Structure 1
Amino acid sequence: MGSTAIRPGYRGHARYSHRVNPDLNDITQEIASDPAAFIGIPLALVGAVFLSLGAQFQHRGVGKVEARTDSSVGKGMSGKQLALLLARPSWVIGTLMLGLAILFQLGSLSFAPIIVVQPLGAIALVITAVVNSRVAKVKVNRQSVIAIIMCVGGVFLFVFVAAFTAVDKPVTEQNLITILIILAVVLAAFGLAFTFLRKRMRAIFYVLGAGVLYGFVATLAKVVIGRLQQGDFEWLTLTCVIALLAATALGAYFVQNAYASGPPDLVIAGLTVIDPLVAVAIGIIVLGEASQAPPWAIVVYIIAGVIAIWGVFRLAKYHPQTQL
C-alpha cells in the first residue's frame, strides 16, 4: 500500500484536477472553458425539488405511524414503528424521491465542481417551507421566514467566499485516518447521548445529529469514489465504506425521529445547512483547504457559519409546528 495522496472526487480527467484559484479572473476562465459544468446546475435544482418533496412525504408517513402507536414523540422510534413505515405508501414514495435526489446530486457533481452545485441544495429548505405550509395549513410566521433567510443566506455566503479563497488539496492517508477517528468519536458521542438522554430529546437534537453525520458521509463518499476510480481499494478504503454505512444508518434513524418530533422544513434545514458546513469544516481543519485564504475570509467563514446555524435554532424555536 503506497502513501500516494488521493484527491476526493477525482475523475481521471485533466479538467477536474485544477485547484481553486483565488484570482477571480482565473476562476472565471476555468468555468468558461468547461461549458459542461453548467449542466450540473439544473440537475442540482431538480435534486433539491426531489429532496423537498421526499421530506414532505416521509414526514407524513412517520406522522401516521406515530399517531397509530402508543410510543410518545421524542423518545426514539421503536423497531416496530420502523417496520410499519415500510407499509406506509407515503413514506415509501418519500424514500424513493430522496433516492432520486441523491442520484441527481451525484449527476450534478459529475458535471460541475461541488462549490458550484452544493449551495443549491439550500433551495430545498425554501420549497419545503412553502409546501409544508400549504399541506399542513399552517402559516409560516415572520420569525420562521427570518430563520429560513438566515439559513440559506449563511450557506450561500460561506460557499461563495470559499469558492474564491479555498485551495483544493489532495487527501493523504493520514488525513483520512484523522477523519475516521473524528467520526468514531462523533458516533460514540451521539450514540451515548441517545442511549441515556433519549426521553429528553427534542427535534433539534435529531436534526443536528443527522446534519453532522451526513456531513461526514458526504466527505467519505467523495473519498471512496476517488479511491475506487484510481483502483486503490484496500483495508483503509474498506474501513471508509464501513464507517460511511454506519454514519448513514444512524443519520437516517435520526432523520425519522426528527420527522416524528418536528416539521419537515426543520429537518431539511439541518440537512442543507449543518451537512455542508460540517463537510467544509473538515476540509478547512483537517485538509487545510483554507491554508491560503486571507484573514478576512476566515472571519467571513465564521460569521456565515454562525448565521446559518443560528437560523436552524431559530427555526426550531419559532416554527409554529415545533418548540425548542
Structure 2
Amino acid sequence: MTVLAAGLALAGSLFFALGAALQQFEAVGAAGPALTRLLRRPRWLLGGLAIGAGTALHIVALRYGPLTVVQPMGVASLLFALPCAAALRHRRPRRGELASAAVIAAGLAGLVLVVPEHGGPPSLGIGKAAALLAAAAAVALALRAAAGRVSPAGRAALLATGAGVLYGATATLARVLVSGGVELWLLLATPVPALFALALLQRAYAVGHFGLAFAALQVADPLTAVAFGALLLGEPLPTGVASTLTALAAAGLTAAGTVALARTTPLSPAPGPTGP
C-alpha cells in the first residue's frame, strides 16, 4: 500500500506540474493576467483540470500511505514542471534549471521528513480561523506591494510566495475539513484564500520566470501550512539536535537552489509596463 501511495503521489505531481506549465504559458501570452481573460483560454482551463487531478491523486495517496512518504513525492513536481514548460516552447530545459530544481526538491523533502506526524484530529474555532485568514492576507498584500519595486525575477518570486502563503492557509483549513471538522462556515471560508492565491499566482506566471515562481510557490505553501498547523492546530514541530540540524541543512539547500534558479533566463521576456 505504501508503494501504491508513493506512485499515486508521483502521478499527482506530474499532473500538477503539467497544469502549472499550461497556465503559465497562457498567463504570459494573455494581454493581462486577469482571471476573466484567462478563463476564456481553453489551454488555461485544461491546466486547471490537470491541477485538480493532481490534487485529487495526492489526497487519495494520503489515504493509503503515511504523510512522511506522500509529502516528499509532491516536491517532484518541481522536476516535472520545467521540462513541461520547456516543451510548450519547443526547447530543451537547461541543465542549470534542472540542477537548481533538484536541489530545491531535495531541501523541501528534507524539511517535510523532519516534521513529526500529528496523531490527533485537528480542530479550529472561528476566532483562530479569522486570525489565520487575516495573517495570510496581510503577508500576501505586503508581498504584492513589495513586488512592484523589484526586478522581474524578484517580482515573480514575491508574487508566487504570496500565493504560496494563501495556499498554505487553504491547506490548513482543508486539513480540518478532511479530518471531520465539517462546518458551514469552514466550507465557505476554505475557498476564499485559494481564489486570491490563484489570481496572485497568474500575475507571478505572467512575469516569465516560471521556474523561480513555481519554486517559490512550492517552498512557501508547505512551510506556511506547517507554521499554521503548529500555531493554530497544535501540531508538533521538529525537536532534538539531529532534527534541527537536518532542518537547517534542508533549508540551506532550498535557499541555495532558489537563488540559483533566480539567475536563470526567464522562459519568455516580461513585458514592460503599459500604464499606471
Residue 184 in structure 1 maps to residue 134 in structure 2:
yes
Tell me the equivalent position of 2:257: 311
Tell me the equivalent position of 1:171: 122
Q: Please, which of 179, 195, 210 is the counterpart of residue 226 of structure 1? A: 179
The 1:279–1:322 alpha-carbon spacing in structure 2 relative to 1, beyond 3 Å, is farther
Q: Please, which of 284, 290, 297 is the counterpart of residue 237 of structure 2? A: 290
Q: Secondary structure of the residue that 1:321 maps to in structure 2?
A: coil
The 1:278–1:182 alpha-carbon spacing in structure 2 relative to 1, beyond 3 Å, is same
Give the letter aligned to residue 92 of structure 1. L
The 1:112–1:319 alpha-carbon spacing in structure 2 relative to 1, beyond 3 Å, is farther
* Structure 2: stretches of 5+ with no match in the other structure: 271-276
Q: 1:111 offset after TM fit, Å?
A: 1.5
Equivalent residues of 2:83, 2:92 under 8 A apart: no
Residue 50 in structure 1 maps to residue 15 in structure 2:
yes
- State the alpha-carbon separation in 1 of the partners of residues 222 and 146 from structure 2: 27
Deviations 1:33-89 (A, max 9, x none): xxx3432211111111111111122122222323xxxx5xxxxx3xxx422222211
The 1:82–1:109 alpha-carbon spacing in structure 2 relative to 1, beyond 3 Å, is same
Identify which of structures 1 and 2 has the higher relative contact order when contacts are C-alpha pairs closer than 8 Å and 6+ apart. 1
Q: 1:270 offset after TM fit, Å?
A: 2.9
Q: Secondary structure of the residue that 2:76 maps to in structure 1?
A: helix
The 1:93–1:125 alpha-carbon spacing in structure 2 relative to 1, beyond 3 Å, is same
How does the TM-score come out when normalised to structure 2? 0.82
Give the letter aligned to residue 190 of structure 1. A
Equivalent residues of 1:38, 1:111 under 8 A apart: no
Q: 1:251 offset after TM fit, Å?
A: 0.7
Tell me the equivalent position of 2:105: 152
Give the letter aligned to residue 44 of structure 1. A
The 1:172–1:101 alpha-carbon spacing in structure 2 relative to 1, beyond 3 Å, is closer
Equivalent residues of 2:136, 2:169 under 8 A apart: no
Larger radius of gyration: 1
- State the alpha-carbon separation in 1 of the partners of residues 2 and 204 from structure 2: 35
Give the letter aligned to residue 236 of structure 2. E
Deviations 1:200-240 (A, max 9, x none): 46111111111122122112101112134xxxx4xxx4443
Q: Secondary structure of the residue that 1:96 maps to in structure 2?
A: helix
Give the letter aligned to residue 190 of structure 2. L
Tell me the equivalent position of 2:274: none
Moved more, 198-207 or 243-252: 198-207
- State the alpha-carbon separation in 1 of the partners of residues 223 and 95 from structure 2: 25
* Structure 1: stretches of 5+ with no match in the other structure: 1-35, 72-76
Equivalent residues of 2:25, 2:85 under 8 A apart: no
Mapping 1:199-210, distance limit 5 Å = 199-200=148-149, 202-210=155-163
Q: Please, which of 236, 247, 251 is the counterpart of residue 193 of structure 2? A: 247
Tell me the equivalent position of 2:224: 278
Give the letter aligned to residue 49 of structure 1. L
Q: Secondary structure of the residue that 2:159 maps to in structure 1?
A: helix
- State the alpha-carbon separation in 1 of the partners of residues 112 and 246 from structure 2: 10
Q: 1:139 offset after TM fit, Å?
A: 4.8
The 1:120–1:177 alpha-carbon spacing in structure 2 relative to 1, beyond 3 Å, is farther
Give the letter aligned to residue 188 of structure 1. A
